[in-house]
Structure 1
């Protein structure tokens, strides 16, 4: 590039209103362009998923459902074509600033971050990192929902126990690694709490964090619908059916239309861990949270809003409720008997009785 171009990297984290932010940037492209800011289309119309994927190794890509869904010919061909097209788009726009948003960036490996650094350095300008942090218990519940929406079959307690989540939730360590690797002009850390947003608006808060002035923070309809505990359990049971009887693969099931229907009827409490497990889970991150609060906010507490009270640790679906969800989800009646059987098995298992 002949001119120095500044870069804003919105790293995520996931489940912190990223779809809303990306929708805002998508609809604001013309206004941004008038001010010399490019929100490129090459990485994706809203979320820049291809941008994050382009820096990952072949081995990392092979383990990612998003990569397989792209059906690209090969990682090397994808990277080469993607970078060429992205640079052509940047060159044609001749912006002063280019903005990228992909929540998967937050979890990049050190080698992938090094490749990202090489790209941003090649643009010659300064780099600003923007990251939102959410209470770990709320993030866990929301992340579990997202996994169930794509085919997860384990209960929350088992799904949580099966993974070491320090790479995501030890915020101080992760942010320090980003600072050391990218040496940004600024690392902007924001709390994902409605009471902390600028003017009470996530849209206004992100524009401020990204240093984008003169853009109207038009409210964006919220996406990624939240499901209550019973609805999540129905969807998990449906996943069990799809995996066992319909050739489904956990993690590769697209429930978007079904979730839209179900979300209109779920008004109960949100699923979380049992109280004792939750206390232990949150205690793991207490020191890291204090360090993050001190470094980036000059505060002693990272999160100010209290735990939700509209939660439950009961992950159970009464088999008699299966028909209700079949009707709400507009699912075929031919699967009714199998879903009743699976729901009864899971209910017995939840109660500690053999199925």
Structure 2
């Protein structure tokens, strides 16, 4: 007869970046009450607190460039988690960057009072290498795609950020010390072309919620850039020099507006690895999949999802790392400037509208209350929400 464990079950979704984490987090946090009705607590005031907790766990919270609120955030989330009477999810992909000792201390804050599970979402490295390069460019990197791929291949010691967070077996090893294998869950991202809800269905099963109870038709964020858009952003990073630092204004202005709002919405040439590099990536994925199988962790999906069949070039291939021609980048630059002007005008109009409402409220408060308050309440709520989101993004990343 099975013995019921009265302690809460805490799921630590610790990575990895570029494996559908933003989509999964958006589904849950946009429907937080539904999650609670399903018996799943998302601790903290908002998702941003989970980012701040990654800073705390990784020893970065004391740095004055980060919000003071980050200090002690892990312990606050942990205390809320262990006080729960059901399932709890703490989720952010940057936990994957924690060292073994940092991960051990984080789990120790929970282990005596909760049943701890570690979850890693994983995708094949043929797609991951290109995706990670784009993410580095969105975080101010000026490295070309060719240079980035070569640095990944040359890192035999596995000390770079890429291998720290993309060696899925290593992430589970660091975070799973002392936990039984059945408490370590690897959720595989299905191959390209698969139903996009498959990943959600797999993840929902692990954390104990009914996947059908949630709306997954959300606006997708953190999508891929085409080769032209990524190269344009890389050149902007070079031109910026020391201006718009990171951390600081760069995520708010460049990443969230230029990259996510404008460049992601435009078409472009799909980034791909050379045939030789695809074989390298597939071989590395296979080696990691073998380590996961030997460790006996709970695989939700199929380890075969991590090992795509590399392309065999029957004829000399075009150089996939060739920089887009200047004519294409010029056209992309002009279109991007036009889109930026539209965004600036939208924001100017919103600020002007808010200023007008403030002036009316100050100069004619009774009239404002009688005529404008009820009809402007949704706009004011929207403006306050946009302001709060902007503050969070300013301190994120």
TM-score range, shorter chain: 0.7 to 0.9
Q: 1:126 to 1:290 in 2, by over 3 A?
A: same
Alignment equivalent of 1:115, drawn from 105, 110, 118: 105
The CA distance in 2 between the partners of 1:202 and 1:305, in whole Å, is: 17
- Shift in Å at residue 289 of structure 1? 2.4
Q: 1:46 to 1:83 in 2, by over 3 A?
A: closer
Higher Rg: 2
| Number of aligned residue pairs | 314
Alignment equivalent of 1:97, drawn from 77, 83, 87: 87
1:146 aligns with 2:144: no
Point out the structure with the larger helix share. Answer: 2
Q: Which residue of 1 aligns with 2:289?
A: 289
Alignment of 1:1-355 (within 5 A): 4-42=7-45, 44-45=46-47, 48-58=50-60, 70-72=66-68, 78-80=70-72, 82=73, 85-86=76-77, 89=80, 94-122=84-112, 124-162=113-151, 164=155, 165-183=162-180, 186-194=183-191, 200-213=197-210, 216-219=213-216, 220-243=218-241, 247-249=243-245, 253-254=250-251, 255=254, 256-259=256-259, 260-270=261-271, 272-293=272-293, 295-296=296-297, 301=304, 303=306, 305-307=308-310, 313-330=320-337
Q: 1:50 to 1:300 in 2, by over 3 A?
A: closer
Structure 2: runs of 5 or more not aligned: 1-5, 156-161, 313-317, 342-397
The CA distance in 1 between the partners of 2:20 and 2:196, in whole Å, is: 16
TM-score, scaled to structure 1: 0.74
Structure 1: runs of 5 or more not aligned: 334-355
**RMSD of equivalent CA atoms:** 3.6
Query: Which range is displaced more, 209-218 or 20-29?
Result: 209-218
SS of match in other structure, 1:127: strand
SS of match in other structure, 2:101: helix
The CA distance in 1 between the partners of 2:303 and 2:104, in whole Å, is: 32
The CA distance in 1 between the partners of 2:192 and 2:329, in whole Å, is: 38
- Shift in Å at residue 207 of structure 1? 0.9
The CA distance in 1 between the partners of 2:281 and 2:107, in whole Å, is: 33
TM-score, scaled to structure 2: 0.67
Residues 190-214 of structure 1 deviation map (CA, whole Å, 9 limit, x = unaligned): 2111579899433222111212237
The CA distance in 1 between the partners of 2:211 and 2:263, in whole Å, is: 38
